[in-house]
Every structure is written in C-alpha cells, then in structure tokens.
Amino acid sequence: MTTVEETTPPSASAGAPSDPSDMASSRRNLIMLTLILSTVLAALDSSFVPIAAADMIDKLSTSTSMVVWVALGYLIAATGPMLFFSRLGETQGQIRLFQIGTILYATCMSLCAFAPDITTLVILRIFQGLGMAMFLPMTFGIAAQIYPTNERGKALGILQMANALGFVGGPVFAGFLLDAFDWTAIFWARIPFAVIAVLVAVFVFGKKSSLVPLKDKMHMDSWGAIFMTIGFFGVLFGLNRLPVEDNHLEMSVWLILFAGIVAFWLFMRQERQSPNPLVDFTLFQESRQFTMASVAFAALFASFPVHLFIYPLVLQAGLEIRAWDVGLYMCSSALVTAFLSPQIGKYADKFGAQNFCFLGTVTLIIGYLSMLLIDMDSGPLEFILPMVIIGAGTGLFFAPNNSIIINSVPPERASLASGLIGTLRQSGYAVGYAVIASLFTAVQDLYESELAYFTLGVLPEDAADQVADLYEKGSIWSPEILIYVFQITIIICTAILILVLINSLPRLKMERIHHFGAVAATLVVAVLGTATFVGASTLTPGGATGERALSNWRTYDDVKAFGMSSQSVAIQVAEADITGEYDGSVVFYDYCSACHGEDGLGIEELGVDLVNSDYVASKSNEELNAFLKVGRLETDPESKMGQLMPEFSYLEEGELSAVVDYLRGLNQP
C-alpha cells in the first residue's frame, strides 16, 4: 500500500551530488534497475497478499481474524519505524540501509513460502515489513541523488511507474498463481526477483554507504519510533482480537490494548519534547486545512479493506470465482486510478483541490453502495463495475488531497508533511484492516451461535429448509452468509467515508470540537445503517425467516431439517397454573428431553445422564438456575459430550425454578 509520491521522506531531495551528470549512464541505469526491482517487489506484496487470504484460511486451517495478521503484522512493522529509518539514512548512509533492508525483505519473503503454520507466517511477515521500512524510503533519496536537479522528476516518475506496474499487474499475476498452485506461490514465484534485487544491490553499490556526504550525527528520535511501533501493535491487536472468540474475557488481550494506548500517549509526549521529532504535531495545530486533509486521507484508507480484502475473500470463498478472474476485477480499479491520478493532479490547483476531493469521496460512496448489488446470481458486470467506480473515486481524491497536505504548510516544512503522507496512509489502512477483519469474523461467529440456538427448537418447514440448505452449503462460509456479512462491512466502510466527506467539504473550517462531532456522526451512521440492514435482512436469525429460539417454537407441528422427512411432533405447552407455578416435568420435556431423554438418563453423544449426575448433585438450586441461564459452549473443557449446552435466559424465572426442582427430584438417590 505504498506509492512513490506518498512516502517521499524529508531527505529525498537533500544533499544530492555536486554534479550527478558526471556519473556514467550505465552505472545510473544499473542503480535505477536496483531501485525499480525493490519498488516492484514492495508494490506486488500489497496486491498479492489480500487475494490469497481465502486460500490461506483454507490451507492453514485458520480464521479470518488470524489471517489478517499476515498483512497487518507487515503493515505495523513497515509503518512504525519508516520515518525513523528515513532520518537514519542521512547519518548512516542511505545505500547501507537500502542494502540491509532489501536483504532482510527478500530473505523473509522467500521463507514465507515454506511457513508451516499461520504463526510462523505472521512472524516472517513482521520481519519482512521491517525490511521494507528500511529500503523503500531510501529508493527515493538515492534516485534523486543520481540525477541532476532538472531530471529528478524523471527519476521519481520512473519509480512511480514501477510502483503502478506492481499494483496493476499484481492481482492478475497473483490470480494466475493461485489458480495454478496455492498461496505459497505468491511468495516463491518472487524468489528469483528477490535474488536478483539482492545481488544487484550488493554488487552495484559495493561497500559504499552513501552517494553524498553523510550528515553529522544528530538527535535520532529512536524512542519515538519504538513508542509508535508498540502503540500500533497494541491498539490494532486489541481492536482485532477483542470482538472475536471470547477474547474480551482474556485479561492478556486487554493488557496489550492498554499497553498500546499508553505507548501512543508516550509517543505524542516524546514528539512534543524531541528536538528532531518524527511527527511534528504543531503542523496539525497551526493549519486546520492540513488537519482536515490528513484526517480525510487516513479515514479513506481505513475504508479500503472492504474492497481490497473482503471483496476478493467473498468472491473466492463464497461465490467460487477463480482467483484469476478476481484479480482482473481488482486490476480494473488500479488501472482507472493510475490513469486518472496524473490527469486530475493537473487540474487540482485550477479548479480547487477540495472540490475534487469531495467529488472523489462521493464517487467512492457510490462505488461502495454498488457492491451491495452483488449476489449469488451476479455476473462479471456486477463484479467489475464497483471496482471501476471505486478506482475513479480514488483517482479523483489522491492527487488533490496530497496537494492540500503539502500546500497547507510553510515551504520549509513541506518535506515533513510529505514524509507524513505515507505514514497516514498505512496507519489508516492498518486500522481499517484490523477493525473490518475482526468485524467480519465477529459477525460470522455471532451468526453461527445464533444459528445453533435457532435450530435447537421446532421450526416451521420453510425456515427449517433454509437452515438445512445453509448448513449443506458450508454454514457461515456459505455464499448467502458471506454475502450477508460482506454487506454489513460495506455499510460500515461507507459510513467511514462520511468522515472523509465532511473533511473534504469545500470552504469548511473545522475546529477540534467539530472533528469529534464528525467522528460521532460517522459512528451513528454506521450503527443505524447496520441495525436497519440486519433488522430487514431475511438471513438474520430471528428475522424474516422465522422466530428466535423462544418458547413459541413449540407451536409448530412440522419439522423438516437436514434432509429429514416431515414428522409429527407431540406438543406440550408449559403454562402456569392458577397459583402462577409451572410444571417442571413439562418444562423439562419441552427444553431438555431432546438431548437428555424423557427419563433424564441421557442420549448418546447428545446429553449426559442427569439422574446420576454428580454435577447436579453438587450444585445448589441457585447455581443450577444460573447455569441454565448461560449454558456451556461445546469448546468448554468441562463439556463431557463436546456438544453445545444452550442458554435458557429467555425462560421466565418460574420456569427455571420448576425445571431445577424437577432435576433435583430426578437426581435423588
């Protein structure tokens, strides 16, 4: 997710050789070849990994919330220290850091192809991202140093072209590899390029550490880089892990999140005190336009995971579209962006940069909403049209927004603003990646749990047919459910664009309090939009397909689930007598006998023997009552059958007390 013009460090144009024209053209071409190879490798990585997510989940037997760390770990390691390495290159030598970074990146990328499990892959990706943070900023500075002043635009243009080539060709190339092989191919197929890049980097530069005289050692904000990286990891880890798999019950996850928040506070404190900060926060205080453009830029990329990660995942895993075709659809977006960006940049100053940013955001919203039309019967047009619209919106937004960021600060601080653009981009994308992926998994988990409870009762025939069909197609990985969850993420990411839209409004001047209001408005739109969609969807458990797992399930006579023929069900309805008390035997028959048997002696592989149960005997009535309200997951270590024990919190207190008394009677010696 890195482009040349967005990550140009403050040192990119400083300290060029006194006469670069004296350099032989053959040597200059070799150096540019080295820089191009490394740039293409980095660009390919950003477009390769998202399209391989579905295959990684399948082949590595992992979850969406875990596989996201293949990209997220890489982004954190690449973003946190990047500005630090940009400064370090000025004193230690840009060539030296470029060589070390390229070797580290290439080595770890090659090893990723042989990772035996998801944990190993994530660790290797973290080190790979660290290598990228070292070499990528150096490419721009080195390119500027080997060309005369009047040709430096040409040098950056060449690297921009290499970067665009990686983004445009990446999805197609990745799709071909995934169709022919598996996810490992996106790594081992690049090993020859990585070897060439390392060899050229070592032999072209030799032992030379810099093409220009090194600056005297100055204060390096190493603590700022450390706090920033730890903060990123802690906050993103918490955002990604807390909503899924009962991680909110794990104290360690909360501690990591808290450590991340503290690290960010220390980072901001460090930057205000440092004589040479990585991020100059006074830029945000002095220019409202700079702040608005920066917030819009980061928020825009926070919304991107819906089409860069969730979109290919749903098309491949749910709709079983070939990776090659998915790559072509995604490539169309990159092509439109690559074509529009330079053209729009020419007109941004003439017609108003904010006008283009606003138009681009509106176009993106239309593109996101058009993805809501994707369903099981969609064809190529429905798949490619949203990508084209999104590519157009992105192309309309990029160059004008970057122009606002650079032009809204004093000229002497433009290099600082330029270096910050890449950090804003990757930070926003990383936050969005963590949140959207965990949301996707959390909705899947919630749906699976709700569906399990829903199927425990007697269902109307049409609802039972639909549930059976969903399970036969893969349960939460069935096309219907994946599209359902995809649509929820579309609504969330469209709501994020509301924040971008507000900060892109022409002639709007926002104070700090207004930014809080914009964030609040975004959250309200996200919550209301999601709630409205979930409430109206026919796939929501308890929605239009039938009632929730409540006592009124007992009123249905016919059952037809999982291919079973319809059968008559004896119906008893637990009702309070004239004194307000319930018959515990009827309550037990209604809710417990299906697994534990009418006599309470248990049913093999379904429910335990309650007549001779030590658990029932050892618990008080209050404890049994509390247990019935919460149930027990099939993964609980204390589960003897390995089956879900549903929660009965929806029963009235009288019903719970009656069934507990009945259990106590069954359990008497």
pLDDT value for 272: 83
Tokens at 23, concatenated: 């350099």
Phi, psi of 463 (to 5 degrees): -70, -40
Q: Which residue has the tokens 């939009």?
A: 529
Indicate the Cα dihedral angle 186, 179, 475, 381, nearest 10°: 110
pTM summary value: 0.68
Collapsing DSSP to helix, strand or coil, 603 comes out as: strand
The secondary structure element, H or E, covering residue 190 is none
Closest by CA to 102, choosing from 226, 2, 224, 195, is 195
Q: Please, where are the H alpha helices in 371-478?
A: 380-407, 414-454, 461-472
Q: What is the pLDDT of residues 141-184, one digit of tens each?
A: 777 777 776 666 566 666 766 776 777 777 788 888 888 888 88
Whole-number Cα distances in Å, 40 to 133, 163, 341, 580:
15, 6, 19, 75
DSSP per residue, 285-340: HH-HHHHHHHHHHHHHHHTTHIIIIIHHHIIIIIT---HHHHHHHHHHHHHHHHHH
Cα–Cα distance measured from residue 363 to residue 569, given in angstroms and rounded to the nearest whole number:
55
Length of the chain: 669
- Write out the two tokens for 96: 């030296």
Instruction: Please list, residue by residue across 355-377, b when 16 or more beta carbons sit within 10 angstroms of its beta carbon and e when fewer do.
Output: bbbbbbbbbbbebbebbeebeee
**Contact yes or no for 447/481 (Cβ under 8 A):** yes
Q: Are 124 and 115 in contact (CB under 8 A)?
A: yes
Give the C-alpha separation, 145 to 17, whole Å. 6
Bridge partners of residue 559, in order along the sequence: 567
What residues pair up with 568 in beta bridges, in sequence order? 558
Contact between residue 442 and residue 450 where contact means Cβ atoms under 8 Å apart: no
CA 462/CA 451 separation, integer angstroms: 15
Phi-psi category of residue 245: left, alpha or beta, with phi > 0 → left and psi -120 to 50 → alpha: left
C-alpha separations of 10 from 76, 283, 468, 633 in Å:
21, 15, 60, 54
CA of residue 384 relative to chain centroid, distance: 22
- CA distance between the termini of the chain: 69
- Residue 648 in contact with residue 587, Cβ under 8 Å? no
Q: Give the pairing of strands 558-559 and 567-568.
A: antiparallel
User: How far is CA 454 from each of CA 169, 628, 648, rounded to the nearest angstrom?
Assistant: 46, 17, 12
What does the pLDDT read at residue 469? Answer: 67
Whole-number pLDDT of residue 322 = 86
User: Taking the C-alpha atoms of 397, 402, 405 and 406 in order, what is their torsion angle to the nearest 10 degrees?
Assistant: -150
Q: Are 307 and 386 in contact (CB under 8 A)?
A: yes
Sites in the chain below the pLDDT cut of 70: 1-25, 149-158, 160-161, 164, 206-220, 245, 345-346, 348-349, 411-419, 450-476, 510, 512, 537-580, 635, 668-669
Task: Please give the pLDDT value at position 481.
Answer: 79
Per DSSP, 640 falls in state S
Q: What are phi and psi of 377, to 5 degrees?
A: -100, 5
**Which structure tokens are listed for 11?**
């040192």
- Residue 636: per-residue pLDDT: 74
Judge contact between 363 and 501, C-beta under 8 A: no
Number of H helices, E strands in the chain: 27, 2
**Cα(605)–Cα(595) distance, rounded to whole angstroms?**
9
What letter does residue 377 receive in the DSSP assignment? T
What b/e sequence results for 131-164 when a residue is b if at least 16 CB atoms lie within 10 Å of its CB, and e otherwise?
bbbbbbbbbbbbbbbbbeeeebeebbebbbebbb
* 3-class state of residue 217 by DSSP: coil
Q: Measured between alpha carbons, how far is 488 from 443 in angstroms, rounded to an integer?
A: 9
d(CA 131, CA 125): 10
The answer to whether 135 and 97 are in contact (CB under 8 A) is: yes
The answer to whether the beta carbons of residues 447 and 476 sit under 8 Å apart is yes
pLDDT for position 416: 65
